[in-house]
């Protein structure tokens, strides 16, 4: 549906010592750069690692084929190399993404002591395009009874949220940090000492219904356990969004005129989709 989509795969701290597995790739970092290895064995397409795992030697449990840490075959002639990625100024590992000159890049560049902690994952039968749009939609954060985000609405002052946008991304900043959406698959949330990267994988890019997600969490070791637990409530918020989009009827369609300024980023996302959809 989207050709050469921008992707944010991980933070560089996840590959500081060993390889790191994402839904598509096993990421290997060396002095010469970042190499992407296929996460599925080319022999019979069995997964070589689970997303979120840190690994060293790569072995297929199905038939015993093995590769070295940098992807060289050990007991077979199968090639798992499938491209390269870049570590950009922010410390993020990206593919097909041009990093802007913006303060969110500076915020992440200043986080020099982040460590990978763990990942959470899930799956949905809903439309991943509706899911992408709801991440841009501030209007649905409302107070009251029988609302989608009762807890988030009680702690977020929408009048103070700063809304910014760039070429293929939006940024929403509040008192505790910011939420970055890089179209069409990646969400990055930051609070001082805390970072999460949420990567959505459609079951079929030609069909908007059905997707998996995984959220990586990174922390400065000095961050308290209490703050970590508070930061990880974003996964609960994400699941509330999943529940909401699974109730939405029909295929996604773009909003062309915002009901109010809180939908400006929905319009921005819709224009991007219409321009880049194949």
DSSP secondary structure of 117-182:
EEEEEEEEEEEHHHHHHHHH--TT---SSS-S-HHHHHH--GGG-EEEEETTEEEEEETTEEEEEE
Same structural domain for residues 53 and 82? Answer: yes
Whether 182 is covered by a domain: the verdict is yes
Provide the CATH number for the domain around residue 49: 2.102.10.10
Counting the structural domains of the chain, the total is 2
pLDDT for residue 146 is more than 90: no
pLDDT for residue 153 is more than 70: no
3-state SS class at 101: coil
Provide the CATH number for the domain around residue 141: 3.90.380.10
Same structural domain for residues 188 and 269? Answer: yes
Phi, psi of 245 (to 5 degrees): -70, -25
Percent of the chain residues past pLDDT 90, beyond the cut: 87
Q: What is the pLDDT of residues 182-240, one digit of tens each?
A: 999 999 999 999 999 999 999 998 999 999 999 999 999 999 999 999 999 989 999 99
Same structural domain for residues 237 and 149? Answer: yes
Same structural domain for residues 144 and 121? Answer: yes
pLDDT for residue 151 is more than 90: no
pLDDT band (50, 70, 90) for residue 58: very high
User: What's the pLDDT score for residue 69?
Assistant: 95
Percent of the chain residues past pLDDT 70, beyond the cut: 99
Sign of the torsion angle spanned by Cα atoms 254, 255, 257, 263? negative
Q: What is the pLDDT of residues 69-124, one digit of tens each?
A: 999 999 999 999 999 999 999 999 999 999 999 999 999 999 999 999 999 999 99
pLDDT band (50, 70, 90) for residue 154: low
Domain termination residue (choose one: 87, 118, 137): 87
Same structural domain for residues 45 and 107? Answer: no
Pairing between β-strand 162-166 and β-strand 169-174 as defined by DSSP bridges: antiparallel
* Boundaries of domain holding 215: 102-276
Same structural domain for residues 124 and 259? Answer: yes
Whether 95 is covered by a domain: the verdict is no
User: What's the pLDDT score for residue 142?
Assistant: 79
Same structural domain for residues 65 and 139? Answer: no
| Residue 214 contacts residue 187 (beta carbons within 8 Å) | no
Q: Where are the alpha helices (DSSP H) in the chain?
A: 103-109, 128-136, 150-155, 225-231, 233-245, 264-276
């Amino acid at each position: 549906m989207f050709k050469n989509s921008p992707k944010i795969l991980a933070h560089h701290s996840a590959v500081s010592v060993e390889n790191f597995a994402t839904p598509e790739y096993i990421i290997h970092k060396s002095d010469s750069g970042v190499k992407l290895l296929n996460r599925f064995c080319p022999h019979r397409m069995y997964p070589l690692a689970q997303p979120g795992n840190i690994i060293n030697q790569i072995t297929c449990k199905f038939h015993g084929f093995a590769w070295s840490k940098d992807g060289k075959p050990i007991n077979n002639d199968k090639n798992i190399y499938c491209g390269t990625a870049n570590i950009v100024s922010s410390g993020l590992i990206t593919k097909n993404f041009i990093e802007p000159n913006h303060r969110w890049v500076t915020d992440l560049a200043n986080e020099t002591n982040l460590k990978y902690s763990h990942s959470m994952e899930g799956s949905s039968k809903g439309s991943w395009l509706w899911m992408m749009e709801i991440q841009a939609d501030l209007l649905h954060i409302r107070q009251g009874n029988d609302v989608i985000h009762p807890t988030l609405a009680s702690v977020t002052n929408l009048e103070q949220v700063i809304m910014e946008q760039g070429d293929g991304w939006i940024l929403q900043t509040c008192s505790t940090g910011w939420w970055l959406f890089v179209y069409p698959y990646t969400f990055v949330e930051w609070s001082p000492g805390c970072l999460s990267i949420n990567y959505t994988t459609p079951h079929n890019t030609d069909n908007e219904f059905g997707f998996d997600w995984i959220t990586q969490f990174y922390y400065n070791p000095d961050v308290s356990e209490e703050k970590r637990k508070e930061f990880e409530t974003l996964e609960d918020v994400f699941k509330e969004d999943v529940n909401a989009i699974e109730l939405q009827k029909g295929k996604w369609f773009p909003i062309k005129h915002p009901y109010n300024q809180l939908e400006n980023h929905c319009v921005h996302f819709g224009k991007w989709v219409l321009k880049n959809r194949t």
